């Protein structure tokens, strides 16, 4: 099992949805950083359920407590540990899920991997709830990056086929990111946003769910981040993003669009702009040879429809060893994207800060 991510900035995640607490230990955060906790809480609130009519009204107590690594209003340089106590969930609601494997979930794969000892309640260690400590850790990283002039934004590029306009590959205003942050469903095209909301609520009425695409951009990245051969910027970012439940694809720059391009259309030409090299285009999404190119980092993620649906599905009962039907009770997210967006933004910040700190060691010739 590996629940630790990072080369220089190491984050360890623990917890199960219905256990005593979930949390994170962040090791490698430089000393002397003063954290704006309200800002961290805002990121946590964006992810938390019950925040809008597009998400599950289920309330979760996501109030975190710092256990170590923060003293006199600054990071100490030693591990910063945090925990979020799990509220009194109605674990009873989940008893049926002990034997009835939810399609599209890790219920059965987890059952097999752990020989039946996994905590099945609410998905246990595979619950989306485990993204709360990840969001927390990322929110710290994000504050460090912002002091370095690195800003991250994301929006719903598509939900159930309805498209928002994409980010401009050569960059957007930082102010746009702030506006998106404030939206319950971050989009640039209001009309598309309305249609997306309707599609989400319609699916919910049917006891169903919808998926979509999230587009994420990072502005202000210095050149040189990423450690090929294996730890390229794309490798590290993809590694992290596939830890976010429901993410099933990642694409940098034109991604699958490259499949119908000519090389002459895919390469980004360089030229001098006031003495400094600049790219005229950004087909490659800010990464060349696995290393940040100085153009905005741009990637998109496919997010599958929430697996938990009320609609009747066929599945198995592993205690009776027979087929059965399952309609998942409780109140679930008809679309996870509104809550996935802050997770993605902050998880991206974690990857970028790790690569930034790792890269700096190379700039020291003994």
Binding-site residue numbers are: 47, 125-127, 289, 304-308, 331
Q: Site mask, a copy of itself, residues 134-173, x = CB under 8 A?
A: ----------xx-xx---------xxxx------------
Residue list 213-232, contact with a copy of itself (CB under 8 A)? 213, 223-224, 226-232
Residue list 267-296, contact with a copy of itself (CB under 8 A)? 267-272, 275, 277, 280, 284-285, 288-293
Among 110, 186, 296, 342, the residue binding a copy of itself under the rule CB under 8 A is 110
Cα 323 to its chain centre, rounded Å, is 34
> For residue 332, what are its two tokens?
């679930």
Least distance from a copy of itself to the Cβ atom of residue 86, Å: 9
Residue list 342-361, contact with a copy of itself (CB under 8 A)? 353, 356-361
Contact yes or no for 270/280 (Cβ under 8 A): yes
Local structure of residue 340 (DSSP, 8 states): H
Q: Helix (H, G, I), strand (E, B), or coil: what is residue 75?
A: strand
Q: Give yes or no for a cis peptide into 169 (omega within 30° of 0).
A: no
The interface region with a copy of itself, picked from 35-43, 46-54, 101-109, 186-194 by CB under 8 A, is: 101-109
For the chain, the maximum distance between any two Cα atoms, rounded to a whole number of angstroms, is: 73
Among 135, 251, 282, 346, the residue binding a copy of itself under the rule CB under 8 A is 251
The C-alpha atoms of residue 314 and residue 28 are separated, in whole angstroms, by 47
Binding-site residue numbers for FMN are: 125-127, 289, 304-308, 331
State the first-to-last Cα distance of the chain, in angstroms, to the nearest integer: 36
Question: Concatenated DSSP letters for 273-289?
Answer: ETTEEEES--TTTTEET
The C-alpha atoms of residue 366 and residue 362 are separated, in whole angstroms, by 10
Cα 6 to its chain centre, rounded Å, is 15
Residue list 5-24, contact with a copy of itself (CB under 8 A)? 5, 7-8, 10, 12-16, 19-23
How many residues line the site for a copy of itself (CB under 8 A)? 162
Least distance from a copy of itself to the Cβ atom of residue 194, Å: 18
Least distance from a copy of itself to the Cβ atom of residue 29, Å: 9
Least distance from a copy of itself to the Cβ atom of residue 53, Å: 18
The C-alpha atoms of residue 357 and residue 337 are separated, in whole angstroms, by 30
The interface region with a copy of itself, picked from 35-43, 73-81, 172-180, 182-190 by CB under 8 A, is: 73-81
48 binds a copy of itself (CB under 8 A): no
Contact yes or no for 209/334 (Cβ under 8 A): yes
């Amino acid at each position: 099992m590996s629940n630790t991510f990072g080369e220089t900035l190491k984050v360890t995640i623990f917890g199960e949805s219905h256990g005593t607490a979930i949390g994170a230990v962040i090791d490698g955060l430089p000393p002397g950083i003063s954290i704006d906790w309200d800002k961290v809480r805002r990121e946590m609130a964006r992810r938390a359920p019950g925040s809008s009519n597009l998400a599950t009204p289920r309330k979760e107590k996501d109030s975190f407590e710092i256990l170590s690594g923060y003293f006199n209003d600054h990071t100490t340089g030693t591990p910063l540990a945090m925990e979020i106590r799990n509220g009194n969930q109605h674990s009873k609601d989940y008893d049926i899920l002990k034997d009835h494997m939810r399609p599209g979930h890790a219920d059965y794969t987890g059952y097999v991997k752990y020989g039946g000892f996994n905590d099945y309640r609410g998905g246990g260690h595979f619950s989306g709830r485990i993204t709360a400590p990840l969001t927390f850790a990322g929110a710290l990283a994000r504050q460090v990056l912002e002091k370095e002039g690195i800003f991250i934004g994301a929006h719903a590029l598509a939900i159930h086929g309805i498209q928002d306009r994409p980010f401009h590959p050569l960059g957007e205003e930082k102010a746009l990111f702030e506006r998106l942050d404030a939206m319950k469903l971050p989009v640039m095209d209001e009309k598309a946003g309305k249609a997306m909301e309707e599609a989400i609520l319609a699916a919910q009425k049917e006891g169903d769910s919808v998926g979509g695409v999230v587009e994420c951009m990072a502005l202000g990245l210095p050149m040189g981040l990423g450690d090929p051969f294996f730890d390229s910027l794309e490798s590290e970012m993809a590694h992290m993003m596939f830890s976010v439940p429901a993410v099933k694809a990642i694409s940098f720059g034109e991604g699958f669009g490259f499949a119908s391009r000519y090389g002459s259309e895919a390469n980004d030409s360089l030229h001098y702009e006031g003495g400094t090299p600049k790219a005229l285009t950004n087909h490659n999404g800010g990464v060349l040879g696995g290393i940040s190119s100085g153009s905005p980092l741009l990637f998109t993620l496919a997010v599958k429809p929430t697996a938990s649906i009320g609609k009747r599905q066929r599945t198995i009962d592993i205690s009776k060893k027979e087929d059965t039907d399952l309609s998942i009770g409780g109140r679930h997210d008809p679309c996870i994207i509104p809550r996935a967006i802050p997770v993605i933004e902050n998880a991206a910040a974690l990857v970028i800060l790790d690569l930034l700190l790792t890269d700096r060691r190379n700039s020291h010739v003994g």
